[in-house]
Amino acid sequence: MTTVPATIPVALSTRRRVARRVLRNPLAVLGLVVVCVAMLAALLADFVAPFASDQVNFAEPLRPPSGTHIFGTDSLGRDQFSRAIFGLRASVAVGLLSVVLSLAVGVPFGLLAGFYGWLDPLVSRFTDTLLAFPFLVLAVGLAAILGPSLFTAVIAIGIAQIPRVVRVTRGETLRLRHMDFVAAAVAGGANDFVLLRRHILPNAINALIVQATVAVPGAIIGEAVLSFLGLGVRPPIPSLGIMLADAQADVQDGPWMAVFPGVTIVILTLALNLLGDGLRDALDPRESRS
């Protein structure tokens, strides 16, 4: 039992080194700052947003951007800036929940497929079957069954990401199970569950983090697409995708309605991608793109 405390400081110092490497990368820091600001804005939308997301004002319909309405207003006179801030909630919620869902399903399957060779073909058929349905076709089927909602968006995006999580986890497990420290743990009497939970999974975390940094921005765009098509979040819940769908009707008279929600999505996903690239470089110096 003396080995357990011995491993923790090592893990901590590795984590600190990774953090230091990320903080030395200016683009990654920029991404981190933008992501933190967006998360805070989404969380504190009630206090940050100048107007309520559903506050209709027929006196000021389709106003171009100005001092009071920096993103302009829509045909109902709703403040687009406030709606965008509230809309970030749906983006962040779907982005995180769908990735959590894909990890919760994908990691166990990946571990089992990598560890027990006989399970591998079964898991492969399972992921192949999921892969046979392109993301939007899957979402369409689910929206038909479950009805369009934030929940449907989470399920559809989460399921679509499962195969990638399975593949990454499986690959890591295959790589790790023949390593000396795993053999040592077996010699120490560890059973399969302990091997997977304490020795293989913690060492596969880095690869999974890298996978998640790609998945979260993808999921945020996925939410916007589904809500835009009417398959995801439904009004009155504000969403950047719904704002862009509303903009379609007034594209002649209020082009700003189509511009700002999109710019918000792009800045958020760009920031996440920059942060993700920085994390990837910090976690895996061999893969450094410089």
Partner 1 sequence: MGRYVLRRLLESAVTLILATIVVFLGIRALPGDPARTLAGEEGDNPAVIAAIRQSYGLDQPLPVQYVRYVQKAVTGDLGRSPRTGLPVAETIGHALPVTLQLAAFAMMVAILIGIGAGVIAAVRRRRPAEWGANAVALIGLSVPNFWFGQMVILGLAIAYPILPASGFVSIFENPVESFRHLLMPAVVLGSGLAAVIMRQTRSAMLDALTADYVRTARAKGLSGGQVIFGHALRNSLIVVITIVGLELGALISGAVVTEQLFVLPGFGKLTIDAVFTRDYPMIQGVVLVTASAYILINLAVDLLYSVIDPRIRVGGRAL
Residues in contact with partner 1 by CB under 8 A are: 124-125, 128-129, 131-137, 140-141, 143-145, 148, 167, 171, 217, 221, 224-225, 228-231, 244, 247-248, 251-252, 255, 258-259, 261-262, 265-266, 269-270, 273-274
Q: Residue 61: is the preceding peptide bond cis (ω within 30°)? A: no
Q: Please identify, using beta-carbon distances, which residue of 26 and 141 lies nearer to partner 1.
A: 141
Q: Minimal distance in Å, beta carbon 128 to partner 1?
A: 4
Q: Minimal distance in Å, beta carbon 131 to partner 1?
A: 7
Q: Minimal distance in Å, beta carbon 277 to partner 1?
A: 8
Q: Please identify, using beta-carbon distances, which residue of 54 and 250 lies nearer to partner 1.
A: 250
The answer to whether 138 and 156 are in contact (CB under 8 A) is: yes
Assign residue 147 a region: left if phi > 0, alpha if psi is -120 to 50, beta otherwise?
Answer: left
**Phi, psi torsion values for 73, nearest 5 degrees:** -125, 160
Q: Residue 134: is the preceding peptide bond cis (ω within 30°)? A: no
Amino acid, res. 159: I
Q: Please identify, using beta-carbon distances, which residue of 105 and 258 lies nearer to partner 1.
A: 258
Q: How many whole angstroms separate alpha carbon 273 and alpha carbon 136? A: 22
Q: How many whole angstroms separate alpha carbon 268 and alpha carbon 95? A: 11
Q: Please identify, using beta-carbon distances, which residue of 165 and 224 lies nearer to partner 1.
A: 224
Q: Minimal distance in Å, beta carbon 184 to partner 1?
A: 27
